[in-house]
Amino acid sequence: MPAKNPVELDQLFGEALNSGNIESLVALYEPDASFNPEPGQEVHGREAIREALEGFLAMTPRITMDTKVLAQTGDVALCTANWHLTGTGPEGPVDMNGQSVEVARKQSDGSWLFIMDNPFGLGWD
């Protein structure tokens, strides 16, 4: 299901991550989008984003998010989400928090996709 507005992108991201659906996750990004899988690291394009997100899915994560649009002009929106993720990594339980910074763009069909997604944009614990 495509996002009908920028806030729905994070809602769909959370649903797909919690259900382990990599195809639904990758479908939320434009083909040349960027994603920051960890602070200071950036990947570009859906295949690189897929690889990065598969690492998160390996933790069998559960994420909750509180999302809002900070600014929007025409077909571009700047969004943020306070998030909390739990899971199990190779070294045991994982418990992370952060505040993302995301840029989304409205597509020709009216749906929205991420063009930039930095989960650690405003710091993390």
Q: Give 10-residue mean pLDDT values along the chain (125 residues).
A: 92 96 98 94 97 94 95 96 94 93 97 96 62
Q: Which stretches of 1-125 are assigned E, i.e. beta strand?
A: 29-38, 41-44, 62-73, 76-89, 92-106, 112-118
Three-state SS for 2? coil
**48: nearest Cα among 24, 29, 76, 61:** 29
Please name the amino acid found at residue 23.
Answer: E
Task: Indicate whether this model's pTM tops 0.95.
Answer: no
Residue 56 has, within 13 A of its CA and on its CB side, a CA count of: 28
Strands 112-118 and 62-73, bridge-based pairing: unpaired
The 10 Å Cβ neighbour count of residue 39 is 12
pLDDT of residue 53: 96
For the chain, domain boundaries: 6-118
Residue 39: the pLDDT is 87
Q: Which fold has domain 6-118?
A: Nuclear Transport Factor 2; Chain: A, (3.10.450)
